[in-house]
Amino acid sequence: LAVKDPTAVERANLLNMAKLSIKGLIESALSFGRTLDSDYPPLQQFFVVMEHCLKHGLKVRKSFLSYNKTIWGPLELVEKLYPEAEEIAASVRDLPGLKTPLGRARAWLRLALMQKKMADYLRCLIIQRDLLSEFYEYHALMMEEEGAVIVGLLVGLNVIDANLCVKGEDLDSQVGVIDFSMYLKSDDEIGGKERDEQIAAILDQKNYVEELNRQLNSTVSSLHARVDSLEKSNTKLIEELAIAKNNIIKLQEENHQLRSENTLILMKTQHHLEATKVDVEAELQTYKHSRQGLDEMYNEARRQLREESQLRQDMENELVVQVSMKHEIELAMKLLEKDIHEKQDALIGLRQQLDEVKAINMEMYQKLQVSEDAMKEKNEIIGQLEDKTNQINATMKQLEQRLQQAEKAQMEAEAEDEKLKQEYVNKSESLQKEFSQKEKQLLQLETDLKIEKEWRQTLEDDLQKEKETVSHLRLETQEIINLKKEFLKLQEKNKQLKRICQDQEAALQELASKLSESKLKIEDIKEANKALQGQVWLKDKEATHCKLCEKEFSLSKRKHHCRNCGEIFCNACSDNELPLPSSPKPVRVCDSCHAILIQRCSSNVP
C-alpha cells in the first residue's frame, strides 16, 4: 500500500469539515431564520472549524518565555492589503477584555462575518502568498488549493445575517473542539427536493440582491466622485468669483481715487485758470510782440522745409540714377558671366584639340618607329646579300639591276622618311606655340575675371553705401515731417487755449454782472425783511375801522399799516409825509411811532 502524505490528509479533512459546517450553517439558518445570534450552535462550530483551518501549518514563533502559535498575525496583515479592513482591526484593538491574540482573531472573524466580507478579506490574503510564507509552512492549508476552495465556499455565507455581541463575550478562554455529532444525519432528517429548490431560489435571490447592491454602491461611488469634482470646480469658481469681486472692488477704489484725483485736478486747474487769468493779459501783450518773431521763425522753417523737400527730391533723383546704374551693372555682370562661360567653353574646346594633337603625334611617332624597324631589316638583308655575292657570282649579274633598283627605292624611302620627320617636327613646334598662346590667353582671362570680380565687389559696396545714405536721408525727412506735424499740433493747441481763454473771460464777465445783480437783489431783500420783522398783519374782516378816527374803511379811505407798532390808519388820518432819498415821492409816517406806513390792498398781501 502507498503511504499518503499526512499533511495532505489533514488538508482534505479540514476542507470536508469546512464544507459540512458551511452547508449545515446555511441550511439551518434558512430553516431557523436568517438572523443568527452568537449562541447558535452551528455558528459556533463554524468559527471553531475556521480557527482550525487558519491554524493548520502555522509557524511557531519564539517569545521571551515560551513558544507562540497564533492566527492574529496573518489576520492583522489584511488591513494593509484591503483598506476597508482597517475599521475592523481598529475596533478589535479597542475592545475591552481581549488580552490574547487568539481572542482578537476570534473577534475579527465574527466582525468579518457580520460585514459579509470574510471571503473578500481571506481572498486578498491568499493572493499574497509571499507574505503568508512568513506565517505558514509551505504545506499549510492557506498556502495550497484547499484554501482557495474554502474562500469560495465562504461566499455562500453572504445570505446569512449575523447579529453577534462581541463586546461582553469571553473569547480568550473558549475551547475550540469540533462537535461531529451535528454533522451525522439520520434517515428522518433527509430533506426533500422541494426544500433544496426553495433554498436555491432564495440563495439566487440573495445573490441577485447583493450584486444589485454592489452595482448601486459602484454608481454611488461614481456619483460621489462626480460630486467631489463638482465641489472642487464650484470652489474654484467661488475663488475666481471672489478674485473677480476683489478686482471689482480694487477697480472701484481706483475709480474713486481717479475721480478724487480728477476733482483735485479740476480744482487745481480752476485755481490755475484764476491765476493765469492775470497772466493772460500780460501774455497777450507779449504774444503780440512775439508773434512777429514767430512769423519769422515760421517763414524760416518753411524755407528750410522747401530746401529739405528739394534735397529730398534730389536724393530721390539720385536714387533713381543709382537704381538705373545698379540695373546696368547687373546687366554688365550678366554679360561678363556669359563671356566667361563662353571663354571657358572655348578653353575646354582648345584642351580637347590639344589632346587630339597629342594623339596624332603619338600615332606619327609609332609610324616612325615602324619605318626605322623596316630600315634595320633592310640593312640586314643588304648585308646578307653582300655575303652571298662572293659565293654566288653567277647570280650577281642577274641581281645587280635588282640591287640598283632596291638602292633607288631605299634612297627614295630615306628621303620620304626625312620629309616626314621634318613635317612632324614643324607640326609639334607649331602645336607647342599654340598651346603656349592658349595658356597665356587663359592666364589673361583669369586676371580679367579677377579684375571684374573686384570691380563688381567695389560696385556692390558703393551701392550698399548709397542705400545706407538713402535710408538715412529718408529717416531725416521722416523726422522733419514729424516735427512739422508737432509744430502744427502746437499751433492748434495755442489757438484752442486762446479760444478757451476768451470764453473764460466772457464767462467771468457774465458771472461778475450776475453777481452784482444778485448782490443788489439780496440787499433789497434784506432791507425788506428787516422792515417786515415783528409785524403782525390783521385780516381784512378784523381791520374794519381806523384806530384814530374810528371810521370804516372805504374806497376813499384806504388802509395804511405801520411797520413798527402794527396799527392801521386811513389815508385821512395819516397826513404826515416824510421825503426819502431812495424814493422819488414822500412817504407817509405813523403819528405815534413815526414809522413808514405801507398801503394795503383788498387782500392780505402787503
- Cβ contacts of residue 436 below 8 Å, gap of 6+? none
What per-residue confidence (pLDDT) applies to 248?
A: 92
Domain with 571 in it: what CATH number? 3.30.40.10
Q: Is residue 488 part of a domain?
A: no
C-alpha 501/C-alpha 508 separation (Å) is: 10
Q: Is residue 403 part of a domain?
A: no
C-alpha 354/C-alpha 377 separation (Å) is: 35
Q: Which amino acid is at 471?
A: S
Find the distance separating the first CA and the last CA of the chain, reported in whole Å: 152
What per-residue confidence (pLDDT) applies to 67?
A: 46
Residues of the chain with pLDDT under 50: 1-2, 65-67, 578, 580-582, 600-606
The count of other CB atoms within 10 Å of the CB of residue 394 is: 8
What per-residue confidence (pLDDT) applies to 605?
A: 36
Q: Is 545 helix (H, G, I), strand (E, B) or coil?
A: strand
Domains of the chain: total: 2
What per-residue confidence (pLDDT) applies to 580?
A: 47
C-alpha 243/C-alpha 233 separation (Å) is: 15
What per-residue confidence (pLDDT) applies to 359?
A: 85
Q: Is residue 120 part of a domain?
A: yes
Last residue of a domain, one of 183, 212, 244: 183
- Cβ contacts of residue 573 below 8 Å, gap of 6+? 546, 547, 548, 549, 591
Looking at 533-571, list the stretches that DSSP marks H as alpha helix, in order from N- to C-terminal side. none
Please, what is the Cα angle at 586 between 580 and 588, to 5 degrees? 105
The H or E element containing residue 599 is: strand 597-599
C-alpha 556/C-alpha 571 separation (Å) is: 8
C-alpha 591/C-alpha 564 separation (Å) is: 11
C-alpha 48/C-alpha 176 separation (Å) is: 5
DSSP state of 4: P
Length of the chain (residues) = 606
Cα-to-chain-centroid distance, residue 150: 58
Cα-to-chain-centroid distance, residue 220: 36
Quick: pLDDT tens for 125-179.
889 888 888 888 888 888 889 889 999 998 888 888 888 888 777 787 777 777 7
Range of the domain at 104: 6-183
C-alpha 204/C-alpha 116 separation (Å) is: 16
Cell readout for 278 is 492775470
The dihedral through the CA atoms of 573, 576, 580, 585 has a sign that is: positive
The H or E element containing residue 67 is: strand 67-68
C-alpha 540/C-alpha 233 separation (Å) is: 84
Please, what is the Cα angle at 565 between 564 and 571, to 5 degrees? 95
The dihedral through the CA atoms of 325, 328, 334, 335 has a sign that is: negative
| Environment class of 29 (CB within 10 Å of its CB; exposed 0-12, middle 13-18, buried 19+) | buried
Last residue of a domain, one of 121, 148, 183: 183
User: Of 424, 451, 428, which is closest to residue 340 (Cα–Cα)?
Assistant: 451
Domain with 140 in it: what CATH number? 1.20.58.900
Q: Is residue 227 part of a domain?
A: no
Last residue of a domain, one of 128, 159, 183: 183
User: Of 42, 72, 352, 34, which is closest to residue 183 (Cα–Cα)?
Assistant: 42
The H or E element containing residue 451 is: helix 394-532
The count of other CB atoms within 10 Å of the CB of residue 269 is: 11
What is this structure's pTM?
0.35
Q: Is residue 293 part of a domain?
A: no
Q: Is residue 14 part of a domain?
A: yes
C-alpha 567/C-alpha 576 separation (Å) is: 15
Q: Is residue 174 part of a domain?
A: yes
The H or E element containing residue 149 is: helix 145-154
Q: Is residue 262 part of a domain?
A: no
Cα-to-chain-centroid distance, residue 313: 51
